[in-house]
Amino acid sequence: MKKRRRGEVGSKKRGSTGALRSPGYDESSDADAATPIVRPQESDEENSHLPSFVLDSILKVFSTHCTPNYSLPWQMRKQEYSTSSGFIIDGNRILTNAHSVENFTVVRVKKRGSAEKVTARVVAIGDECDIALLTVDDPTFFEDTCPLSLGSLPQLQDRVTVVGYPIGGESISVTEGVVSRIEIQQYAHGATELLSVQIDAAINPGNSGGPALNARLECIGIAFQSLSAREAENVGYVIPTPVVNHFLTDVQRNGRYTGFCSAGIDWQALENSALRRFLGMDASETGVLLRRIHPLSGATAVLQKNDVLLEFEGNRIGNDGTVQFRKNERINFNFLVKEKYVGDECDLRILRGKTRLDVRYKLDESSSSQLVPVHEKRRQPEYLVVAGLVFVVLTEPYLRSEYGERFEFEAPVKLLNKLMHGEKKFPNEQVVILSHVIHHEITTGYQSLNNLQLLRFNDIEVRNLAHLAELVSKFEGVFMRFHLDYEELVVVETETSRRCTAEILTQHCIPSDRSIRCEEEVSEVDQISMAEVRRLAEQSERAEASAAADVSSKAKQSDQTKEEPTEEAEAEGRSPSRRAPRRGRRTGLRHVTDEP
């Protein structure tokens, strides 16, 4: 996706050295140097090795975003606009990036050479893997288009072509490069680590969601991020097809995106020989030490702290935590976990004391144990106003709203520690914080308090915001006491606070004293019926039956000698991940976004 401010990149100036000129402009004539010579247009096939039917499957995505004001959660910010790229796959489906449609209100797509923007419907969003699935309800939109096939994981030095709609112009853009690296990489949008393909082809603002193609015209990944120019040059990343296929299969199986799996463990490498001997390992054995089991994970039933993990699904784990990936390649063993789906079982071989055991348990969704959410799934964030005391749930978007994009360096250390390392001790646990205090007679002396965690209400530990609202509503004592972090104490009279709350809401134009999440509430894009998913799956099957013939016919018309795209292949590699990352770290990664 590309975002730029009005008047920055994109304007074309004339009359100066280096001005943009038409390809048909001829300066050789002194008699009439200003007269352009128009030459006959050449076909796409003569200008590019990409045939027209491939370029026609790549779309420009126009999104309108309306982001909540997390600091004043009863308000919305001014709407913004962005453009990005996307492409058609089988079953009348469109793939793009999740950050391209984040907080969307309207999404429209436009085909190459068309002047019409057509409204698209968001079917599913995978924030973790930064992929969004769209469709257009009008089937005529997909007429005369050929869906791209998803290829397998590329090899190092394979040539790739990135196609999309980046800044610098309005028409489609094509850049080329090679595969530089294949490894686990942090996803800037999802704040997680998954398999990624690094390429040296230019990925600029606006390329987000566009395909990366191999020599067989198969899509081998989705462009989604790059390193900033301050960090390195020509370092771009694409989401590889193993991750894309996992996302698509997940949506088809469950009717919505459920996410990638977590093993529910933290581990330590065993590269020290003395440590291995202390743990009772044989000289031929390798593995990693389990230093922590996540409290809500299914692993708690079979694993213990200080167990040694020797094998996962029959794959021997090295002392550095890696397993065999491809020939002469190793990768972190968590990629085996990310290959599975939520609810799948995994088989492990462990060493406990001097006993070797085979155990099995079900895998959970990777974000199920995260104490502080990376993304807010509700249109309106949760909040509660009690006598001018504004309580909210701690999330990463809230920290960004309060402290800016450099919140990792500006926010209080205790809150950052909750974000990066906090894990739930029980289901539905939330970090409730006093965001700020609305100044009123009843809150005099408290107005300087802000961004402090609420620990207890009247000596009762607060589990989540809904729990706090219930405690406040049912309390009948004289004084309400709010115990905050750093031993701060706020006390208000119960009757006075209830009388003044309505007055404060009216004075500050706050529509309600609360917005509390219900357990059964899900985000708008998660409300997808299984019938809709089956319908898309059936369309996919029908499209696959005719895709090969269509591709072959169009390839002949374009006089191409390359192989025709094959049907969707099994990925050679598997979706990997490392240990739970320090969430929130961006390390120079940026979305390729532009704002028209």
Which residue is associated with the tokens 């205790």? 414
Residue 96 neighbours by CB under 8 Å, 6+ apart: 1, 61, 84, 85, 86, 87, 131, 132, 134, 208, 209, 222
Polymer length in residues for the chain: 596
Known catalytic residues? 99, 130, 208
Q: 199: which DSSP letter? A: E
Work out the number of other CB atoms within 10 angstroms of the CB of residue 356.
15
Q: CA 165, CA 171: separation in Å to the nearest integer?
A: 7
Spatial contact of 427 and 457, defined as CB atoms under 8 Å apart = no
Spatial contact of 65 and 105, defined as CB atoms under 8 Å apart = yes
Q: How many CA atoms lie within 13 A of 71 on its CB side?
A: 9
Work out the number of other CB atoms within 10 angstroms of the CB of residue 316.
14
Beta strand 355-362 with 345-352 is antiparallel
Q: CA 221, CA 241: separation in Å to the nearest integer?
A: 5
Q: CA 208, CA 203: separation in Å to the nearest integer?
A: 8
Which residue is associated with the tokens 């304007």? 11
Which residue is associated with the tokens 């935590």? 321
Please choose, from the candidates 251, 227, 223, 184, the residue with its C-alpha nearest in 3D space to the C-alpha of residue 86: 223
> Would you give the distance in Å from CA 433 to the centre of its chain?
26
Alpha-carbon separation of residue 459 from 140, 189, 454, 471, 486 (angstroms): 63, 38, 11, 11, 15
Amino acid of residue 304: Q
Q: Where are the beta strands (DSSP E) in 40-169?
A: 58-65, 80-89, 93-96, 104-110, 118-119, 121-126, 131-135, 159-164
Q: CA 443, CA 308: separation in Å to the nearest integer?
A: 55
Q: CA 205, CA 179: separation in Å to the nearest integer?
A: 20
Burial class (CB in 10 A: 0-12, 13-18, 19+), 143: exposed
H helices of 181-288, in order, are: 241-254, 273-278
Please choose, from the candidates 497, 529, 435, 511, the residue with its C-alpha nearest in 3D space to the C-alpha of residue 70: 435
